[in-house]
Amino acid sequence: MVRSPARRALTAYLTAAPFVVFALFPFAWMLVTSLKKNNELYDLSQNPFLIRAGITWEHYQYLFAQSPFPLWLRNSIIVAVVSTAASVVLALLAAYALARLRFRYAEGVSTFVFIIYLLPTTLLFLPLARLVSVLHIANTLWSLIVTYPAFMTPFITWMLTAYLNSIPRDLEESALVDGCTRLAALRRIVLPLARPGIITATLFGFTLAWGEFIYALTFISTTSLKTVTAGVVVDLIRGDVFYWGSLMAGALVASLPVVILFSLFLDHYVSGLTAGAVKG
């Protein structure tokens, strides 16, 4: 019954291996494809797992020098940064009110935020497409900057409310008793204490915004104004058929920012993921 630690670790690795391979294989495949020369990539007699003819950077060169890819990256950065910043500020205010203040209809507001949080973007893209054109922001980055917070804010509010609820109130209460205003207490006491929660919320917001697809696909039609998710999928394809090298290079490069953030802030992601689902 008692097993040695080494055997236990071996069992753990062996059982985890299929899941790790399943999860990472598509990314490994992006890398292999993006580094292969076309004549080897499209040669059916070659083993697709190996790169025999040498590594090439031509797909990356095409991506960065001849395609609108750098513009798409820039657009994605602008949209994700601005919409995340706006959402976190709005959500922090809302979460503080929901977690700390007593007012009538507080439960109603929480329920409302929760329902909006569950509302899928696929239900809203058609009417929103009309709305952004009425607002004269269709086919501009603004159409995304303005609409993304509508699905990010409820999620972040939910997450931050749960986080604020886990912070003891004592410090804040003594500050209030000492005559501090609510906003001052929020800024000087709650903000520093809630920092880990705010970082988590920011990371999630950024990840959501960076990966958003249907609005980006629907609201923006000009190639140079697209974000990476829509741009690579819709507009990267050239006249010729053999474009998989640069498509995979694009998919890999555009996935990197969030994957890097994720590996740097791993614990934040895990705590947020579980807080969002279990507590929220």
Partner 1 sequence: MGDDVTESAVRRPQVFPRRLRRPGLGAESTVAWGMLAPTLLLLGLLAVYPLLYALYLSMTTAQVGAPGRFVGLANFLRLPHTAIFALTLWNTVLYTVSAVAVKLALGLVLAFVLAQRAPGMKWIRSAVLVPWVAPISLSVLAWTWMFDSTFSVFNWVLMHLHLISGPIGWLGTPRLARFAVVLVNVWSGLPFFGITFLAGLVTIPQELYEAATVDGVGALGRVRRITLPLLRPVIATVVLFSVVMTSSDFATIFVLTHGGPMNTTQVLSTLAFRLGLATGDLGNGAAISLYLFPALLLATTVQARLMRRTWQW
Within positions 106 to 145, which residues make up the interface with partner 1, using CB under 8 A? Answer: 106-116, 118-131
- Interaction with partner 1 in 229-268: which residues (CB under 8 A)? 229-230, 232-233, 244, 247-248, 250-251, 254-255, 258-259, 261-263, 266
Nearer to partner 1, 141 or 251 (CB): 251
> Which part of the chain contacts partner 1 (CB under 8 A), choosing from 52-60, 66-74, 188-196, 208-216?
208-216
Nearer to partner 1, 65 or 177 (CB): 177
Name which position in 52, 213, 222, 224 contacts partner 1 (CB under 8 A). Answer: 213
Name which position in 3, 16, 66, 70 contacts partner 1 (CB under 8 A). Answer: 16
Do you know the residue count of the chain?
Answer: 280
Structure token digits, residue 105: 């209809």
Identify residue 169 by its one-letter amino acid code.
R
Nearer to partner 1, 1 or 65 (CB): 1
Name which position in 145, 210, 225, 226 contacts partner 1 (CB under 8 A). Answer: 210
Q: How far is residue 231's CA from residue 224's CA, in Å, rounded to a whole number? A: 8
Helix/strand/coil (H, E, C) string of the chain? CCCCHHHHHHHHHHHHHHHHHHHHHHHHHHHHHHHECHHHHCCCCCCCCCCCCCECCHHHHHHHHHCCHHHHHHHHHHHHHHHHHHHHHHHHHHHHHHHHCCCCCHHHHHHHHHHHHHCCHHHHHHHHHHHHHHCCCCCCHHHHHHHHHHHHHHHHHHHHHHHHHCCCCHHHHHHHHCCCCHHHHHHHHHHHHCHHHHHHHHHHHHHHHHHCCHHHHHHCCCHHHCCHHHHHHHHCCCCCCCCHHHHHHHHHHHHHHHHHHHHHCHHHHHHHHHHHHHHC
Say whether residue 228 binds partner 1 (CB under 8 A).
Answer: yes
Name which position in 147, 200, 202, 246 contacts partner 1 (CB under 8 A). Answer: 147
- Interaction with partner 1 in 40-69: which residues (CB under 8 A)? 41-42, 44, 47-49
CB of 57 to partner 1, least distance (A): 19
Cβ atoms of 178 and 160 closer than 8 Å = no
CB of 84 to partner 1, least distance (A): 14
> Which part of the chain contacts partner 1 (CB under 8 A), choosing from 53-61, 67-75, 187-195, 203-211?
203-211
CB of 54 to partner 1, least distance (A): 19
> Which part of the chain contacts partner 1 (CB under 8 A), choosing from 16-24, 50-58, 60-68, 188-196?
16-24
- Interaction with partner 1 in 24-43: which residues (CB under 8 A)? 24, 26-27, 29-30, 33, 41-42
